């Protein structure tokens, strides 16, 4: 067979393939379906557990067995993702209503990971059996699994809006979903009210559903913004932990602040991080009244104890904890779900509309299946009742029949060439037989004891029940109000069985403003090496080691701790670092990278000049670029509280070579890589704004570039190829000249 080569545009193929991949991740992996609130892997885990018979009233099964079975039958993407899903479905600190009941170590709220799947066991939660999987065989469609050998459900018949109840989190390509969890009882109240009045506004809906309800409790501190979040489906929740004050009970005891609830975002390593942050606040003297911290949290709840000094300012400590730690955090809301195969941002009304639409679909599907079964039962019952009245003719026919097929033919058509009934009277009756195929099979399978009078009476009573069910099912299918009554009854039962009080509370908290006490300025010396590490040292220490320090550090400034360092980078930006943030160390200590104290990026640029803020008053900066541009800028333009400002604009491919500070009418010298030097008078250098580009300062040869600039001094000596050369004979030149080459 000849090889067929398809020629296609590479960019178009990549675009199409990536789009297909993106949609696959969105719809088949990361984003939940609005109908059951589950991602495909979650749905498959629950369905497989149902198939394995691991129900709530049964014993648990090894997690490894569940994961292996799910992977082999429905989700061939690795057992680690399946087990992680199983673990999350069982964690009551992540789910308002866990869908799986775990046995063994399934992790903790403090970030402890679950034990390996071979050590844990699981079974379906009662809620899952009762609400998520009930009537699975009667209500939803099935589709082939990945290898088309088995069938799996397209969706699970969830009778409750799981998307609201347990929330959802997922990161897809180009989008993510983050839906908070809600209180089951409040959702029930909203459903009951919404069925009666589907035209209610979101503001009216929120009289029933007050807002998010997280498993960890806590406080939503921006209550007034909730209505906009539920109108748009996007926004930010400001979450706070709950802090309680416990006064000392005995004279020897200490007052305590106790964290009893935490924001949902602190689940995992958040508690450990909170405790280390509090310790750092104490070490840095920002909190002086906390003497110790203990974590007594366990499976029963959160209890983090902060012991206080006598007469501590409790409110100030609370504010500092909220401001400086993750005890106050932001929860992003982006309620995206799959609707009719496409991702959509859902507001509260669209969630309820989709939920009720799905419930009416499930009811229609269920009662259509039930009606079909009752219609089939009715057909058989009618045939058996009719057969009881014609039993003599039927028995005579059966006695004359040689095979079951002949008997069935006679029952359905009233004739068969292989059957001859001797009794002409019974034959006349038999020729009127017109039973259906199903009725004929039932008659032939009927046992003789069914001819007892009581059995016949029971059969007729069963027929009446069947007819009553058929009437009811038809009415439900025909009348939407009847279907609504079923939903209402179901929701009331769910609320009665699974409802619980709300955990999360609401308030409109004011923005916390901390007036930090200014630390007393201490004399120090700022040091920065050529690798971008900075530190401050004690003045006395500097005086003792002055020669060593000045030989090792290109930037040395005597100042005090309330000053700041000004760093110019090759990118054209100026960065400021408060010296109070710079560590005070010994001379031999390395210090801290300026990257960690500012937005300076050592991977993309280099520091070309460093000054101290207090030392640049009433002066000018000469800014020289690698391609020979120059300008003068008044230093007053750089007096700002911003930590990063634009020092100068640059042409493409250019960068700053040097920023020179000048206090008086001093000449400037530019030096190139080929050792050309150009001395310029200040009057020849234009005074420009910081947001402008410079003008041409020196004419460069091909491949030459500026490497340095400095203020001209008569006795200045510079190093050229290892030789000391004096500049006293360097005459002034004009801007744009090539300069003088020194050897």
The confidence band for 13, taking pLDDT boundaries of 50, 70 and 90, is: low
Q: Exposed/middle/buried for 379, CB within 10 Å: 0-12, 13-18, 19+?
A: middle
DSSP state of 658: E
Task: Answer with the one of 326, 360, 383 that is the final residue of a domain.
Answer: 326
User: Most distant CA pair in the chain: distance in Å?
Assistant: 147
The confidence band for 473, taking pLDDT boundaries of 50, 70 and 90, is: very high
Strand partners, 679: 669, 732
Q: What is the mean pLDDT of residues 633-659?
A: 89
The confidence band for 254, taking pLDDT boundaries of 50, 70 and 90, is: confident
Q: Say if residue 543 is in the same domain as residue 662.
A: yes
Q: Say if residue 447 is in the same domain as residue 304.
A: no
Residue pair 169/56 in contact by the 8 Å Cβ criterion: no
pLDDT for residue 514: 66
Q: Say if residue 565 is in the same domain as residue 674.
A: yes
Q: Say if residue 440 is in the same domain as residue 540.
A: no
Which SS3 state, helix, strand or coil, does residue 632 take? Answer: strand
pLDDT for residue 638: 86
Q: Say if residue 119 is in the same domain as residue 50.
A: yes
Q: What percent of the chain stands above pLDDT 70?
A: 95
How far apart CA 310 and CA 307 sit, in angstroms, is: 10
Question: Domain with 667 in it: what CATH number?
Answer: 2.120.10.90
Q: Which of 10, 18, 21, 119 is catalytic?
A: 119
Q: Say if residue 588 is in the same domain as residue 690.
A: yes
pLDDT for residue 15: 65
**DSSP letter for each residue of 581-626:** GSPB--TTS--EEGGGTSS--TTT--EEEEEEGGG-TT-EEEEEET
pLDDT for residue 644: 87
The confidence band for 44, taking pLDDT boundaries of 50, 70 and 90, is: very high
Does pLDDT of 82 surpass 70? Answer: yes
Give Cβ neighbours of residue 186 (< 8 Å, ≥ 6 apart): 208, 209, 210, 213, 502
What pLDDT digit, counting tens, does each position of 447-458 carry?
777 667 667 788
| 667 within a domain of the structure (yes/no) | yes
Average pLDDT across the chain, whole number: 89
Q: Say if residue 144 is in the same domain as residue 80.
A: yes
Q: Say if residue 582 is in the same domain as residue 472.
A: no
Q: Say if residue 595 is in the same domain as residue 701.
A: yes
| 362 within a domain of the structure (yes/no) | no
Task: Answer with the one of 157, 185, 210 that is the final residue of a domain.
Answer: 157
pLDDT for residue 656: 94
What pLDDT digit, counting tens, does each position of 324-347 carry?
899 999 999 999 999 998 999 999
Question: Domain with 118 in it: what CATH number?
Answer: 3.90.199.10
Task: Answer with the one of 123, 157, 191 that is the final residue of a domain.
Answer: 157
How far apart CA 505 and CA 239 sit, in angstroms, is: 10
Q: Say if residue 700 is in the same domain as residue 592.
A: yes
Is 18 a residue of the active site?
Answer: no
| 171 within a domain of the structure (yes/no) | no
pLDDT for residue 391: 85
CA angle 80, 84, 87 (to 5 degrees): 140
| 130 within a domain of the structure (yes/no) | yes
| 89 within a domain of the structure (yes/no) | yes
Q: Say if residue 465 is in the same domain as residue 551.
A: no
Q: What percent of the chain stands above pLDDT 90?
A: 56
How far apart CA 486 and CA 144 sit, in angstroms, is: 31
Taking the CA atoms of the chain, what radius of gyration do you get in angstroms? 41
Give the range among 52-61, 197-206, 415-424, 529-538 with minimum mean pLDDT: 415-424
Question: Domain with 372 in it: what CATH number?
Answer: 1.10.268.10
Overall number of domains in the chain: 4
What pLDDT digit, counting tens, does each position of 351-392 carry?
999 999 999 999 999 999 999 999 999 998 888 888 888 888
Does pLDDT of 203 surpass 90? Answer: yes
CA angle 326, 330, 333 (to 5 degrees): 150
What pLDDT digit, counting tens, does each position of 710-726 carry?
988 877 888 888 788 88
Quote the tokens at residue 5: 């080569």
| 358 within a domain of the structure (yes/no) | no
How far apart CA 20 and CA 24 sit, in angstroms, is: 6
Quote the tokens at residue 667: 């000449």
Answer whether 0.75 is exceeded by the pTM: no
The confidence band for 539, taking pLDDT boundaries of 50, 70 and 90, is: very high
| 393 within a domain of the structure (yes/no) | yes
Residue pair 274/266 in contact by the 8 Å Cβ criterion: yes
Does pLDDT of 743 surpass 90? Answer: no
Query: Which single residue is written with the structure tokens 């800028």?
Result: 633
pLDDT for residue 641: 74
Helix or strand run (H / E) with residue 12: helix 10-25
Q: Which domain holds residue 320?
A: 242-326
| 165 within a domain of the structure (yes/no) | no
Q: Say if residue 555 is in the same domain as residue 696.
A: yes
Give Cβ neighbours of residue 689 (< 8 Å, ≥ 6 apart): 633, 637
């Amino acid at each position: 067979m000849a090889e067929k080569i398809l020629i296609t545009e590479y960019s178009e193929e990549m675009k199409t393939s990536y789009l297909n991949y993106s949609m696959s991740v969105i719809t088949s992996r990361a984003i939940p379906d609005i109908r059951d609130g589950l991602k495909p892997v979650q749905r498959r885990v629950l369905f497989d557990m149902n198939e394995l018979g691991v129900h709530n009233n049964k014993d648990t099964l090894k997690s490894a067995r569940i994961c292996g079975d799910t992977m082999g039958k429905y989700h061939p993407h690795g057992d680690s993702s399946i087990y992680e899903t199983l673990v999350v479905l069982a964690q009551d600190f992540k789910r308002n209503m866990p869908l799986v009941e775990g046995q063994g170590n399934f992790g903790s709220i403090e970030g402890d990971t679950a034990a390996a799947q071979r050590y844990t066991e699981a079974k379906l939660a009662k809620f899952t059996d009762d609400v998520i999987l009930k009537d699975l065989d009667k209500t939803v469609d099935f589709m082939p699994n990945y290898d088309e050998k088995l069938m799996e459900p397209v969706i699970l018949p969830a009778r409750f809006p799981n998307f609201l109840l347990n929330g959802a989190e997922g990161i897809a390509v180009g989008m993510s979903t983050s839906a908070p969890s809600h209180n089951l009882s409040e959702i029930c109240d909203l459903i009951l009210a919404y069925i009666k009045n589907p035209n209610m506004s979101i503001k009216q809906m929120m009289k029933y559903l007050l807002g998010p309800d997280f498993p960890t409790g806590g406080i939503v501190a921006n209550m007034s913004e909730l209505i906009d979040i539920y109108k748009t489906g996007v926004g930010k929740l400001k979450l706070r932990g709950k802090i309680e004050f416990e006064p000392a009970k005995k004279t020897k005891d200490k007052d305590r602040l106790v964290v009893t609830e935490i924001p949902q975002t602190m689940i995992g390593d958040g508690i450990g991080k909170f405790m280390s942050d509090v310790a750092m606040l104490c070490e840095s003297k920002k909190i002086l009244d906390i003497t110790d911290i203990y974590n007594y949290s366990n499976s029963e709840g959160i209890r983090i104890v902060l012991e206080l000094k006598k007469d501590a300012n409790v409110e100030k400590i609370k504010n500092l904890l909220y401001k400086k730690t993750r005890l106050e955090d932001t929860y992003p809301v982006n309620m995206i779900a799959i609707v009719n195969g496409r991702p959509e941002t859902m507001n509260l009304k669209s969630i309820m509309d989709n939920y009720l639409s799905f419930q009416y679909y499930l009811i229609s599907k269920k009662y259509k299946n039930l009606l079909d079964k009752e219609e089939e039962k009715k057909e058989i019952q009618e045939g058996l009742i009719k057969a009881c009245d014609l039993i003599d003719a039927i028995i005579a026919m059966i006695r004359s029949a040689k095979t079951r097929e002949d008997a069935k033919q006679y029952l359905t058509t009233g004739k068969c060439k292989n059957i001859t009934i001797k009794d002409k009277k019974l034959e006349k009756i038999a020729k009127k037989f017109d039973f259906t195929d199903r009725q004929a099979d039932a008659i032939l399978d009927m046992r003789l004891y069914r001819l007892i009078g009581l059995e016949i009476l029971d059969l007729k009573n069963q027929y009446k029940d069947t007819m009553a069910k058929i009437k009811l099912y038809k009415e439900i299918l025909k009348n939407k109000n009847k279907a609504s009554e079923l939903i209402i009854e179901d929701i009331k039962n769910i609320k009665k069985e699974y409802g619980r009080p709300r955990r999360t509370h609401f308030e409109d908290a004011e923005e916390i403003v901390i007036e930090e006490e200014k630390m007393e300025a201490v004399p120090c010396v700022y040091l920065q090496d050529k690798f971008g590490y900075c530190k401050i040292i004690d003045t006395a220490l500097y005086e003792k080691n002055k020669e060593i320090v000045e030989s090792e550090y290109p930037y040395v400034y005597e100042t005090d701790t309330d000053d700041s360092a000004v760093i110019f980078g090759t990118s054209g930006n100026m960065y400021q670092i408060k010296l109070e943030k710079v560590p005070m160390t010994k001379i031999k200590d390395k210090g801290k990278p300026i990257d960690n104290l500012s937005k300076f990026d050592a991977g993309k640029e280099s520091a070309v000049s460093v000054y101290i803020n207090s030392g640049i008053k009433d002066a000018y900066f000469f800014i020289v670029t690698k391609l020979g541009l120059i300008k003068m800028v008044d230093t007053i333009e750089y007096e700002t509280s911003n930590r990063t400002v634009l020092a100068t604009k640059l042409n493409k491919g250019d960068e700053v070579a040097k920023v020179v500070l000048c206090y008086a009418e001093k000449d400037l010298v530019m030096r190139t890589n080929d050792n050309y030097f150009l001395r310029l008078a200040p009057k020849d250098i234009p005074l420009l704004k910081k947001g402008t580009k410079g003008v041409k300062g020196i004419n460069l040869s091909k491949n030459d570039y500026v490497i340095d600039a400095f203020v001209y001094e008569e006795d200045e000596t510079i190093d050229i190829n290892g030789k000391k050369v004096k500049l006293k004979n360097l005459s002034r030149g004009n801007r744009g000249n090539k300069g003088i080459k020194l050897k």
